[in-house]
């Protein structure tokens, strides 16, 4: 008994049990219905439900042969791991927890588990599983603040060992400006300025090339660059974010509605005042906004404008200035 209590208190000695393979109830822990030597409450012959081989190890010898079995009921769950060790702050996250004894049946009573999430300050939330079996549990963790959290399986009055989940801030780029050899990236989740030697992993890249960092804060990165490019990537401690070629729809988007169509050409006409006196189509009709001279103003004109004027993603003002003020 004293040796067992190196790891177990008396109150948990009688609810330690694993799902044994030969009892005909695989996938569920049935107290008193499992093979011998798979726990402290099993049996060694499914045809003999009164067999008590597990009990005799402790209770077969005086003076404890008449001892009672406190704590019988919910089997103590054990937690082996989580499908995610890192989640993003401010967003719900579905995770899968694996282990043993997430459910069990004792004397006809079904015991099931929930998930307890504990923050560093000791505050807790309880999450009801989306699905549960004896060795697996799926749950949706609600949006959390950045920090370290302990996750446990709780079943009635007993709890599992914890696993730790790191909730990290989301890395996000909201705008990029590039002028006079200086690239400024604004956003959130960049973290502190990386230490010397970390440039291979924590950096700011322009079209895949790492830049020399002038300053770095959690919300803004300033870097030196010889020329402006198309795509910016920030590789921070907690993740990466991109802006530009594959991430921004703002090229030639003059009305800031995230697409390029005829309304962009019409907006450009209003901003820049193309008129019959400045008609490039060399015809008798007014073609304000008709950049491909086909007699109408539609999405192809916006595409033609982009090709002629070369507005790029990194110098597009649509995200930085009010709509309609497109100072080229």
Q: Are 159 and 194 in contact (CB under 8 A)?
A: no
Task: Name the nearest CA neighbour of 254 among 196, 204, 297, 193.
Answer: 297
* Residue 163 and residue 181 in one domain: no
Helix (H) or strand (E) holding 265, with range, is helix 262-272
Among candidate residues 188, 212, 243, the one where a domain is terminated: 243
pLDDT of residue 28: 85
Do 55 and 117 lie in a common domain? no
Per residue of the chain (328 residues), what is the pLDDT tens digit? Answer: 566 666 677 667 777 888 888 767 788 888 777 777 788 776 655 555 556 677 776 666 655 544 455 556 788 999 999 998 999 898 899 999 999 999 998 878 899 999 999 999 999 999 999 999 999 999 999 999 989 999 999 999 899 999 999 999 889 999 888 887 899 999 999 999 898 889 889 999 998 899 999 999 999 999 999 888 888 999 998 888 988 754 434 455 666 665 666 666 666 665 554 554 555 565 544 455 666 667 676 667 666 665 555 544 454 545 444 444 343 3
Collapsing DSSP to helix, strand or coil, 42 comes out as coil
Contact between residue 189 and residue 239 where contact means Cβ atoms under 8 Å apart: yes
Lookup: tokens for 200: 């291979």
**Secondary structure letter of residue 194 according to DSSP:** P
Rg from Cα positions in the chain: 33
Domain assignment present for 327 = no
Range of the domain at 216: 172-243
C-alpha closest to that of 149 among 132, 173, 124: 124
Q: Give the angle subtended at the CA of 48 by the CAs of 47 and 51, to the nearest 5°.
A: 145
Whether the predicted model's global pTM rises above the 0.75 cut: no
Tokens of 14: 């009688």
Tokens of 226: 């010889």
Query: What are the start-end ranges of the E strands in the chain?
Result: 78-82, 86-88, 93-100, 104-106, 109-111, 114-118, 124-127, 131-132, 136-141, 147-155, 158-159, 163-168, 172-179, 182-188, 203-206, 209-210, 212-216, 220-224, 232-236, 239-243
In a domain, 324, yes or no: no
- From the CB of residue 201, how many other CB atoms can be counted at a distance below 10 Å? 10
CATH number, position 136? 2.60.40.10
Considering 16, 51, 72, which residue would you say is the last residue of a domain?
72
């Amino acid at each position: 008994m004293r040796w067992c209590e190196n790891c177990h208190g008396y109150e948990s000695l009688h609810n330690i049990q694993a799902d044994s393979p030969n009892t005909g109830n695989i996938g569920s822990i049935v107290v008193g219905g499992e093979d011998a030597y798979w726990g402290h409450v099993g049996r060694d012959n499914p045809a003999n439900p009164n067999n008590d081989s597990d009990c005799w190890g402790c209770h077969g010898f005086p003076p404890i042969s008449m001892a009672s079995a406190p704590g019988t009921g919910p089997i103590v769950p054990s937690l082996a791991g989580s499908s995610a060790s890192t989640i993003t702050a401010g967003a719900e996250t579905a995770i899968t927890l694996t282990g043993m004894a997430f459910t069990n049946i004792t004397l006809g009573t079904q015991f099931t588990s929930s998930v307890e999430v504990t923050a560093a300050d000791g505050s807790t939330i309880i999450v009801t599983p989306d699905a549960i079996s004896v060795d697996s549990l799926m749950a949706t963790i609600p949006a959390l603040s950045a920090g370290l959290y302990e996750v446990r399986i709780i079943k009635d009055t007993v709890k599992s060992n914890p696993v730790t989940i790191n909730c990290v801030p989301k890395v996000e780029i909201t705008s990029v400006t590039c002028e006079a050899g200086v690239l400024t990236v604004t956003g959130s989740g960049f973290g502190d300025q990386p230490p010397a030697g970390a440039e291979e992993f924590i950096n700011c890249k322009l079209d895949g090339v790492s830049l020399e960092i002038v300053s770095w804060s959690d919300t803004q990165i300033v870097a030196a660059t010889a020329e402006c490019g198309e795509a910016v990537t920030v590789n921070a401690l907690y993740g990466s974010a991109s802006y530009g070629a594959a991430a921004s729809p703002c090229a030639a988007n003059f009305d800031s509605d995230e697409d390029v169509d005829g309304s962009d050409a019409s907006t450009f006409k209003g901003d820049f005042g193309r008129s019959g006196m400045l008609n490039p189509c060399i015809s008798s009709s007014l073609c304000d906004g008709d950049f491909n001279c086909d007699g109408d103003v539609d999405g192809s004109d916006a595409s033609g404008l982009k090709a002629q004027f070369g507005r790029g993603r990194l110098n597009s003002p649509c995200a930085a200035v009010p709509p309609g003020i497109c100072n080229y």
